[in-house]
A and B are shown apart, each in its own frame.
Chain A
Amino acid sequence: MGKAHSKFFFFLPLFSVLIVMVGYPLAYTMYMSFFKKTAAITIPELVGINNYILLLQDNVFLKVVFNTFVWTITNVVATLGIGLILSLILSDIRLKGIRLFRMIIIIPWSFSVPGMMAWVWLMSSDYGYFNELLKNLGLIGNYIAWLSEPKIVLFSCVIPNVWHMFPYMTVMLLAGLQSIPIELYDAAAVDGVNKVQKFVYITLPQLAPTLLVATTLYMIWTMNSFVPYVLVPGGLANNAVTLPIYIYHLFFTKFDFGSGSAAATFLFLLNLILTILYIRSFKVEWK
C-alpha cells in the first residue's frame, strides 16, 4: 500500500461519518430547495430557484432576516461587553475569593435553554419580579410588558440569553488574559504607562485572537438559537421570530419543505461566512 493510499485509508472512517452526518443532509436540503413539496404536493415539483425568489419577495422573510441580525448583534455586543469587564476583574488574582467567584459565575451557563422559562415569569407584565425590582429602584414608573410589546420583545429575549451565555465569554476571555505574558505589563510599568494605556496597547492586542475566536463562535451559536421561541412561542406576530424559528415553522408547521430548504440554505450560507471567518482567525498573524 502506497503512502498516499494508506493516508486515505486511515481517513476513510472520518470521511464516511462526515458524508453521512453532514454531507448528505446538507446536499439533500440544497437539492430540495429547488423543488416545491408541501403537505398537499407530496410528489416534488422542480421549480428551479423560484423558492429563493419567493422568499426574497416575502416581507415576513425579510423581517425575520432583519430580526436575526438584530438578535445576533445585540447579543454579541452585550455578552462581549459583560464578558470582557468580568474577565478583567476575575483575572486580578490579588482579589480575595477570586476562585470562588470564578466558580459562581459559571452557574447561569449550566442552565439548559428550557430552564430559562423562569424568565417568562420574571418578566411577566403584571406579577413579574423584574418589573417590581425596576420600579423599586425607581427606574420605571409603570410595569412593562417585556415579552408582549412588539418593539422591545426581541431585546427582552436578549436579556435571558446574555444572562445564560456571559459565563462562556468570561471564561474564554479570562483564559486569553491569563496567557498574556506578565513581562509586558512589568515593562510598561517601568515606562510609566497608565491603566488605560495598558488596556489599549497591551491587553486588547494580546487578547485579539481570543476575542475573534470567541466572538465568531458565539455569533454562530446565537444566530442558530431557539431562545426567542422558548420565551415567546407564538413569535408575537413575527416580532420575535428569527431565521431558525422561521425555518422550523416552514418545515414542521406548514410542511413546506421546498421553502424551508431554501431558507435553511440561506441560513447555512450566513453560517458559512462566519465559519470561514472563524477558521481564518487562526491564520491571522497578530502584530
Chain B
Amino acid sequence: MASQPKKVDRRKFIYAGLGAAALIAIGVASYVALNPPIVTQTTTVATTIQTTVPTTSVVTTTSVATTTVPTTTVVTTTVPTTTSISGKISWWVGSWSEEAAKLLVSNFKTIYPQIAVEVVGLPWTGMYDKMLSALQSEAPPDVLDVAVAWNIPFASLDLLLPLDQYAKSLDLSDFYEAALSTAKFKNILYGIPFRTETGGLILNKNILKASGLDPQTPPKTWDDFYEYCKKTTVPGKTYGASLGFGEKMHAVYEYLIFLWGNGGEILDETNKTALFNSSAGVEALEFLVKLYKEGLIPKDAVSKNRDAMFDEYFLQERSAMHHGAVYSVATIRDKNPNLYNNLLIAPACKNKEVKQYVQIGGWNRVIAKRSKNPDAAWKLIEFLSSPQNQAFYTHTFPGRKSALAYPNFYKIDYSDPYIKSFANVLDTGKLTPPVAQWGGIVDELATAIVSALVGDKTPKQALDEAANRVNQLLK
C-alpha cells in the first residue's frame, strides 16, 4: 500500500522556521560579540601617515634549523616605531616563500603591533587565476607577490594601486632599473621589485668532457651550440639541451633567447606592430626546429615546461645544456652535489654580432586597488623592502643592489662564483614589451613556436599567422 504523504501544519512550519532564524541570529550576534573586528583606521594618501621621528630598531630573526643561515640574524632596520596606522591586512605569497614570509611578519609585528598580517601561501598552479579573480572582487587581499609578467596586465586592468606617492619613502635609485621597469605602466609605478633574476646557459662539464669537448669552453655562437648539441647527444642516454616549450610563457622565454641573439625584436618601438616574424625571428625558430627535428632536444620539450625539463633531464645529467637561472644553481647544489661541482655557467649563445640581452624575470610586490587598508599594506611593503629583508626573502636576487650584502633565508651565497656570473648581467636585463596585451602575445607566439616545432606549420607560416593575430590584439 502506498504511504500517504505526511501532512505538515503550515503554522507550525512557519513558527519552526522563525525559531531557527532567531537561533542563528543569536549565534551570529554571540560570535561577533566574542570576536570584535579589528578597528581599521585608514588615511587616504600616504603623505598623511602620522609617524614619529624614525628610530633605529633591532630586529632579531630566528631562522629554521634546517638552513645554514646563521640561526640568529641581526637585522638592523630604520623604521618608525609608532604610527597611527592599524588594522588587519592579508599578504598573498607563493607557497614556496610562506615560511620566510611568516618569519618576516613576526618581525614586522614587533614594530607595528597594531597591524595584523595574515600570510596566505598559494601554490604556483592556479596562482595567477586566483590572484586575478581576487583582485577583481570587492574584498581582495591587500598585498600580493606577483610575477613580473603579471604586474603590467593587472595594472592595465586597473586592479592595482599606484605606488608613486608611497614609494617616495624608498630609495628607488638602489633598485635595478630593469626590475623597476617591470612594475611601470604608462610611467606609473604599480609594484616594488623584491626578486630579480636573469637567465644564462648552464652546462654539465662531465658530459662535455665525455663528448670530447673542452669543459672550460662554453659555446658562444649558434653554430657552436649546434655542434655541442650534436656531440653530446647520445640516443637513449643524453640530449644536447633540455629546452622546455610546454608552457606558453616558457616557450616564449626559450624563443626570446634566440630571437634577441639574432638581433630580432618582439614588437616595434611603438609597441604597435609585431616584429618577431622578421627574418631574424624566422631564422631563430628555424634553428630551434632543426634542433628538435634532429633529436638534439627531447621529444617532450614541446609538452613539458622548462622546470620539468630541468628536473627530468639536466638535474639527472641527461642533458648537457640548459637555459637556467640562479634558482637552478641552488637546486643543483642541494639535489645533485656531483653535478654542482662540474657546472659551467655562460651567457646564452648568439648568432650575430649583437648585444646579447638577458631577459629579466622576477617578482614584484603590489597593493590591490580595492584594498581596505592601503596604508597598512604599504607599511608592510616598506618594511619588506629594506635591503636586509629583501635579501632574506628572495629565492634568487633581490630587487635592490645593496641587498646583495646580506644573508639569505634560502642559502643563496652571492659570493658563489656561479651565482656571481648571473648577478654580473643583472644590469643588462631586457624587459619584454610592457603592454597590456602581453598575455595575448604570449598565447599567440607560443602556439606558433610549438606548431613549427611539431611540424604543423613552417616557421615562417606560423610566425606570420601569429604576427597577424598579435597586430589585431595591439590595434
Contact = CB atoms under 8 A, between A and B. Distances in A.
Interface of A: 6, 38-40, 42, 114, 120, 124-127, 145, 147-150, 153, 232-239, 249, 252-256
B79 to A, nearest CB: 37
B473 A234 contact: no
B247 A124 contact: no
Given A38-B473, A126-B298, A234-B303, 6 more contacts: A39-B156, A40-B437, A114-B125, A234-B245, A253-B442, A254-B440
B157 interface: yes
Interface in B185-231: none
A236 B439 CA distance: 17
B272 to A, nearest CB: 11
Contacts of A234: 245-248, 251, 302-303, 305, 446, 450
Contact of B300 (A39, A40, A124): A124
A114 to B, nearest CB: 7
A236 to B, nearest CB: 6
B247 A150 contact: no
27 contacts: A39-B157, A39-B436, A42-B158, A120-B308, A126-B236, A126-B300, A127-B312, A145-B299, A145-B303, A147-B300, A147-B303, A150-B455, A234-B245, A234-B302, A234-B446, A235-B248, A235-B447, A236-B303, A237-B447, A237-B456, A249-B443, A252-B129, A252-B439, A253-B443, A254-B443, A255-B153, A255-B439
B450 to A, nearest CB: 4
Contacts of B442: 253
Interface in B294-338: 298-305, 308, 312, 318
B163 interface: no
Interface string B34-56: 00000000000000000000000
A248 B153 CA distance: 16
A126 to B, nearest CB: 6
Given A126-B298, A255-B439, A232 B156 contact: no
B132 interface: yes
A40 B458 CA distance: 31
B316 to A, nearest CB: 9
A6 B14 CA distance: 11
B144 to A, nearest CB: 16
A255 B448 CA distance: 19
Contacts of A149: 454
Q: Which 6 A-B pairs have the closest CB atoms?
A: A237-B451, A39-B436, A254-B440, A145-B299, A125-B299, A237-B450
A88 to B, nearest CB: 33
A125 B443 CA distance: 25
Contacts of A150: 454-456
Nearest to A127: B312
A127 B313 CA distance: 10
A237 B153 contact: no
A125 B68 CA distance: 38
B397 to A, nearest CB: 27
Nearest to A153: B303
B436 A40 contact: yes
A39 B437 contact: yes
Given A150-B456, A255-B436, A256-B440, A40 B156 contact: yes
In this complex, which of A6, A114, A235 has the most chain B Cβ atoms within 10 angstroms of its Cβ?
A235
Contacts of B157: 39, 42, 255
A254 B443 CA distance: 8
Nearest to B292: A148
A120 B246 CA distance: 12
A234 B446 CA distance: 8
A60 to B, nearest CB: 8
B128 interface: yes
Nearest to B237: A126
B12 interface: no
Contacts of B448: 237
A232 B447 CA distance: 13
Contacts of B6: none
Contacts of B299: 125-126, 145, 148
Contacts of B447: 235, 237-238
B10 interface: yes
A191 to B, nearest CB: 33
Interface in B124-159: 125, 128-129, 132, 153, 156-158
A148 B300 contact: yes
Nearest to A54: B472
A129 to B, nearest CB: 14
Contacts of A253: 248, 439-440, 442-443
B440 A255 contact: yes
B305 to A, nearest CB: 7
A230 B216 CA distance: 40
